[in-house]
Amino acid sequence: MTDQYAVIGNPISHSKSPPIHRMFAEQTGQDISYEAIESPLDGFAATIERLRAAGYEGCNVTVPFKFEAFELATRLSERAQSAQAVNTLKFEGGAILGDNTDGAGLVADIEHNLGVSLRDKRVLLMGAGGAAYGVILPLVHAGAHIAVANRTADKARQLAAAFAASGEVTGCGYDELDELQFDVIVNATSAGLSDSAIPLPDSIFAPNALAYDMMYGRETPFMAFAREHGAHVADGLGMLVEQAAEAFHIWRGVRPDTRPVLEKLRSA
Ligand code: ATR
């Protein structure tokens, strides 16, 4: 019988997750279905209950439900706990396992697809909201030396303090970055949504630096700034595919080859 999965969000019609998971399923010979489901904003728990009752095996969760999914899970992975958010649910009898594959997806994209090892690299993580919390633990575990910078500097310091025991993480405001250089700069802010620039010093990029924007589908002011300053620039499409592959592995126990899927999305 075909095992059923879905991605739940609101809005959800533009999600690339269904074609990604269908390509994974075809490639690995897994008999699954995967659809996009829009949940009412006040009806996430009811939507999940409906899927469980209908025999679904699990689902992905996206904006704005990742925190509700975190609350709903009866068991959480370490990375979901640190993210305080869940993007992957697996239904197992009466249990709901909650995981977060965003950070693993980011690290896999940077290290495997873009070929940049994070071990001992100076990484600047910009932002201290949900997106930054979602990725920080896997960045720490990859062995990077991390500075978190945020418009509201206190939030960056708070985030850094929460992870200081796990690795080297400091927090600051953008005005404290003068004189510093980074090998990898990750934009986890929502500034790009409003086409806002982030006030970075001109000298922020180390030679050969990677500028990574977790957004995809648009050139953000940060990406344009990075290009002007000679950095390598990547958007978040690879992260999207890699976090999906990690979810697929949680559900199916097999790891799809992400490269042809990413190539297909890029050429579409
Ligand atoms: P998300 O889930 O996308 O992380 P969020 O939790 O609302 O959304 O966090 C948004 C992040 O983008 C925050 O770090 C925010 O900075 P503040 O904490 O100072 O608000 C950051 N952000 C949003 N717009 C920004 C802008 N124009 N310039 C710099 N940072 C911005």
pLDDT score for 78: 95
Pairing of strands 205-213, 232-234: parallel
Q: What is the pLDDT of residues 174-215, one digit of tens each?
A: 999 999 999 999 999 999 999 999 999 999 999 999 999 999
Is the CB of 159 inside a 6 Å radius of any atom of ligand 1? no
Report helix, strand or coil for 59. strand
Cis before residue 260, ω within 30 degrees of 0?
no
Question: Stretch 62-85: mean pLDDT, rounded?
Answer: 97
Is the CB of 87 inside a 6 Å radius of any atom of ligand 1? no
Q: What is the pLDDT of residues 208-245, one digit of tens each?
A: 999 999 999 999 999 999 999 999 999 999 999 999 99
Q: What is the pLDDT of residues 108-153, one digit of tens each?
A: 999 999 999 999 999 999 999 999 999 999 999 999 999 999 999 9
Closest CA to 74 of 47, 56, 92, 60: 92
pLDDT score for 4: 98
- Burial of 37: CB neighbours in 10 Å, binned 0-12, 13-18, 19+: middle
Distance 191 CA to ligand 1 centre (A): 6
Distance 125 CA to ligand 1 centre (A): 12
pLDDT score for 91: 98
172: how many CB neighbours lie within 10 A of its CB? 17
Is the CB of 51 inside a 6 Å radius of any atom of ligand 1? no
Confidence of residue 22 (pLDDT cuts 50, 70, 90): very high
Question: What whole-number percentage of the chain has pLDDT above 70?
Answer: 100
Q: Which helix (H) or strand (E) holds 122?
A: strand 122-126
Q: What is the pLDDT of residues 29-62, one digit of tens each?
A: 999 999 999 999 999 999 999 999 999 999 999 9
pLDDT score for 128: 98
Residue 103 pLDDT exceeds 90: yes
Q: Which domains does the chain have, with CATH numbers?
A: 3-100+239-267 (3.40.50.10860), 103-235 (3.40.50.720)
pLDDT score for 37: 98
pLDDT score for 131: 96
More confident position, 109 or 268: 109
Q: Give the nearest ligand 1 atom to 126 CA.
A: 14
Confidence of residue 1 (pLDDT cuts 50, 70, 90): confident
Distance 249 CA to ligand 1 centre (A): 31
